[in-house]
Chains A and B, each alone.
Chain A
Amino acid sequence: DAGVTQSPTHLIKTRGQQVTLRCSPKSGHDTVSWYQQALGQGPQFIFQYYEEEERQRGNFPDRFSGHQFPNYSSELNVNALLLGDSALYLCASSYGQLGELFFGEGSRLTVL
């Protein structure tokens, strides 16, 4: 039973570029949440997708957007990248919005 898988594992971008990160949830899960983890910090909630709609959102600007597909997989898009967007981006899936979160290993984004 595959857990949460994320791609790519590492990527490097320059300021002003756009990036798309992908997440496949654990089998049987229908909800995907995204977190940003800066170096030396705890994960910060970006948003949660359920039934292909954004259900909750943390304190992140509109440059951060997402999508959930009918197969429950999800994408996180970040536009106009800033140096401060460098972080580990974690995807977590759950069964329902109140289910236990299972995390992927993350995508490490470096913005130069």
Chain B
Amino acid sequence: AQSVTQPDIHITVSEGASLELRCNYSYGATPYLFWYVQSPGQGLQLLLKYFSGDTLVQGIKGFEAEFKRSQSSFNLRKPSVHWSDAAEYFCAVGASGGSYIPTFGRGTSLIVHP
């Protein structure tokens, strides 16, 4: 079965600084990979996804992520963080050869200082 590890529970950055959130997955084949964001009191919103092809994926709100098969990673990046980016971020992996149902990590809470 697939699994996801998000090693950072909390990340604090200053507004305008760059951001990288780490995600490592476990799956025997090429996975489907996702990043979701959850703001307080709201549901999850898909930021970006990787199914195949170009390993650098562009998403909404200026986010991007890079699939690195050799490192089993799918880290999320943003060059300049805005205060409105403060939220919970979840990485998820789906089984490309099976059910596709995303399995989520425990999340990383992003705190943005002015």
For B45, give the chain A residue with the smallest CB separation. A103
Residues of chain A within 8 A of B105, CB atoms compared: 42
Does B35 sit at the interface, judged by CB under 8 A? no
A33 to B101, CA, bound (A): 9
Residues B101 and A56 in contact, CB atoms below 8 Å apart: yes
- List the one stretch of B13-21, B36-44, B54-62, B68-76 in contact with chain A: B36-44
Looking at chain A, what size class is its interface with the partner chain?
20 to 34
Does B11 sit at the interface, judged by CB under 8 A? no
Residues A98 and B100 in contact, CB atoms below 8 Å apart: yes
Known: A103-B43, A105-B43, A106-B43. Is A56-B104 also a contact (CB below 8 A)?
no
Within 8 A of A (CB), among B81-102: 90, 92, 99-102
- List the one stretch of A13-21, A43-51, A64-72, A74-82 in contact with chain B: A43-51
Q: Which 5 A-B pairs have the closest CB atoms?
A: A42-B104, A103-B43, A103-B44, A105-B43, A42-B106
